[in-house]
Amino acid sequence: MDILVVGSVAFDSVETPFGKAEEVLGGSATYFSVAASYFAKLGIVAVVGDDFPEEHVKMLNYRNISTDGLQTVEGGKTFRWKGRYDFDLNVAHTLDTQLNVFSDFKPELPEEYRDVEYLFLANIDPELQMEVLNQVKGPRLIACDTMNFWIEGKQDKLRELLKGVELFVINEGEARELAGEASLIKAARKIFEMGPKTLIVKRGEYGALMFSGDHIFSAPAYPLEDIFDPTGAGDCFAGGLMGYLAKTGDLSDANVRKAIIYGSTMASFNVEAFSLERLKRLTVSEIDERYAEFKRLTHFEDV
Ligand code: AMP
């Protein structure tokens, strides 16, 4: 196993200007792991209730994702998230969050998960992220995501966690909120003081910015004519990014830049359909072709 991820496995109910979906498969760990599975082998740490259908577990296993760390609570209910997007698809409006089985979840890592090289703490309660971090033996790379729900509800725990995180991947609005700064450059500086060495700011349809030391790298998002549902785009971005880093084993600045483009590639496919419908049916050649299109999109030379 190359990458270990802890995060939510969920039923999402989502409304966008283009349609709606009720109680479909979602969750930060789910989107992340399926996206990353095109590059690397994964293990998931999460919890579901006994209302979680076996077919979803089978889909994860089919994609070579280990579910040995996915607990099922008999008589418990799976995490549920309800959200709405208006025409500005960059902003998710949370209508309801039901933690359900996550409220009493105590992650216990299977022995074979503990010496994993790449750890991704996907969006979930920072206390759970910390418990997983404390059980791994010394990964090569520790990366993390979060959201406004936790920035507002558990910021002290999040800040404690960030002391041990190297790569932090969050939304633009959340970076500003956490740092209390309108300027992203100032926000990055403040976030570096909290622990992370590299900050990647996800900017929805405007792409992503990486801040590392004094360098800034800017990547566009893929210009899609139709975006159906942005849910999970951020997690798929992180999945493509971490997947490519784990596949290549190269953490140089140049390679992280490429990984960001793979992240953007995976996110661009995900938004083409609700839930994981597009993502789980991708082929490696589709991924490579879109990566090549990204190269053409951004290439220019001095005249
Ligand atoms: P994103 O990539 O930011 O669009 O993430 C969307 C996913 O995050 C959805 O599938 C939700 O199930 C999940 N999610 C929403 N709120 C939370 C939360 N508070 N903690 C963990 N996961 C969440």
Per residue in 225-262, pLDDT (tens digit) is: 888 899 999 999 999 999 999 999 999 999 999 999 99
Whole-number Å distance between alpha carbons of 281 and 289: 15
Average pLDDT over residues 95-106: 96
Residue type (1 letter), 47 = V
Residue among 102, 261, 234 nearest 168 (CA): 234
Q: How does DSSP classify residue 183? A: S
pLDDT, the chain, mean: 96
| Pocket mutation for ligand 1, best pick of 34, 81, 95, 200 (most atoms within 8 Å of C-beta) | 81
In sequence order, the 6+-apart residues with CB closer than 8 A to the CB of 117 are 2, 3, 139, 140, 141, 246
Q: Which helix (H) or strand (E) holds 16?
A: strand 10-16
Ligand 1: centre distance to CA 245 (Å): 23
Provide the token pair at 150.
């936790």
Class of the CATH domain delimited by 3-298: alpha beta
Q: Which atom of ligand 1 is nearest to the CA of 80?
A: 12
- Residue 113 pLDDT greater than 80, yes or no: yes
Strand partners, 47: 71
| Pocket mutation for ligand 1, best pick of 28, 94, 128, 242 (most atoms within 8 Å of C-beta) | 28
pLDDT band for position 91 (cuts 50, 70, 90): confident
Whole-number Å distance between alpha carbons of 127 and 10: 18
Provide the token pair at 142.
């520790």
Is 10 near ligand 1, meaning CB less than 6 Å away?
yes
Is 275 near ligand 1, meaning CB less than 6 Å away?
no
Which residue lies with its CA nearest to atom 16 of ligand 1?
Answer: 81
Is 78 near ligand 1, meaning CB less than 6 Å away?
no
Whole-number Å distance between alpha carbons of 20 and 183: 35
Residue type (1 letter), 26 = G
What pLDDT does residue 107 have? 93
Q: Which helix (H) or strand (E) holds 219?
A: strand 215-219
Residue among 293, 144, 147 nearest 231 (CA): 147
Domain locations in the chain as residue ranges: 3-298
Q: How does DSSP classify residue 269? A: H
Residue % of the chain over a pLDDT of 70: 100
* 50, HSE (Cβ side, Cα atoms, 13 Å): 4
Which residue lies with its CA nearest to atom 6 of ligand 1?
Answer: 232
C-beta of residue 237 within 8 angstroms of C-beta of residue 208: yes
- Residue 303 pLDDT greater than 80, yes or no: no
- Residue 61 pLDDT greater than 80, yes or no: yes
pLDDT in tens, 147-182: 999 999 999 999 999 999 999 999 999 999 999 999
Q: What pTM was computed for the model?
A: 0.97
Helices (H) and strands (E) in the chain, counts: 10, 13
Is 28 near ligand 1, meaning CB less than 6 Å away?
yes
Is 135 near ligand 1, meaning CB less than 6 Å away?
no
CA distances from 113 to 146, 212, 276, 297 (A): 22, 29, 25, 39
Which residue lies with its CA nearest to atom 3 of ligand 1?
Answer: 234
Q: Which atom of ligand 1 is nearest to the CA of 236?
A: 2
